[in-house]
Amino acid sequence: MAILNVTLNLLSNNSFVKAAGDIKFVNSSLKETGGILDDIAKKEDRLKKIQIFSGLSTISTNVFSSLKSISDSVERTVGKVGEFASQGDRIAKTSRLVGLSVKDYQAFDQAARHAGMTTEEMDGALKRFNVNLGKARGGDSKSFKIFDSILGGKKLSEFKDSTSLLSAVADGYAKLGSAEQKAFVSQELFGKSGLKMTELLQGGGENLKIQLDSAIPGFSEQGAKDAEEFNDALQDMNGTIGSIKISVMEGLF
């Protein structure tokens, strides 16, 4: 019990929680602590049930209190870093999902907000675009016809990334005659947020490039990757804390 208390008290020291590596260390140490609690819970003997139940109750109270102290300590230490880590984590994951680099995804986000879209609307539009692109490249005739009509004879195989393809789509928008045509193509390519994408793309590819180039840089590729790792480490630690609590309660059950 003394070892358990010392371990938990030591882990609550802020000096251990400075970055993802340190949080991983806390998580690893917590898992070892959980193993100690499992051993204690498994040593129950029917003849000593009341005594052990009382002991486990005391342990559970102390452990829950100590785990809360650790969690609060991490939260205070991480502070704003945790908020930015969550933001970087979202950017890293969403940029992969929509087929853009971290830099281009953030640039599109800024340009889309200038066009009156929310980040959520832009994400939905780009996800739908990426799905339709996959269908077209996979041989779906309906999706292929939509891209073919907007690209003016250029082949999808000519485009190695979504950014250059979206620029070509913007050039195609500029050549569409009526608002009805633009609305139809927008809806087919980008889904329910397509009409708002028209505002972003109708100036043509060069105008889109200017908007993207003028965007203020945010997370770098490496920075977003680091934020993702940091956020994952925090989630792992919270999961371990929850697991230890369950382990203690199982002993009481």
Contact status, residue 196 vs residue 117, Cβ threshold 8 Å: yes
- Its pTM stands at 0.68
User: What value does the mean pLDDT take over residues 164-183?
Assistant: 85
Q: What is the pLDDT of residue 18?
A: 46
User: What value does the mean pLDDT take over residues 202-222?
Assistant: 88
CA-CA-CA-CA torsion for 229, 117, 80, 242, nearest 10 degrees?
Answer: -60
pLDDT band for 16, please (50, 70, 90 cuts): very low
pLDDT band for 247, please (50, 70, 90 cuts): low
Q: What is the pLDDT of residue 1?
A: 37
Question: What percentage of the chain has pLDDT greater than the value 70?
Answer: 65
Above 90 in pLDDT, residue 104? yes
Q: What is the pLDDT of residue 166?
A: 92
Contacts (Cβ under 8 Å, ≥6 apart) of 66: 5, 8, 9, 11, 12
Q: What is the pLDDT of residue 11?
A: 37
Above 50 in pLDDT, residue 13? no
pLDDT band for 94, please (50, 70, 90 cuts): very high
Q: What is the pLDDT of residue 194?
A: 84
Above 80 in pLDDT, residue 235? no
User: What value does the mean pLDDT take over residues 170-191?
Assistant: 85
What are the Cα distances from residue 75, in Å, to 14, 28, 80, 198?
A: 10, 18, 9, 42
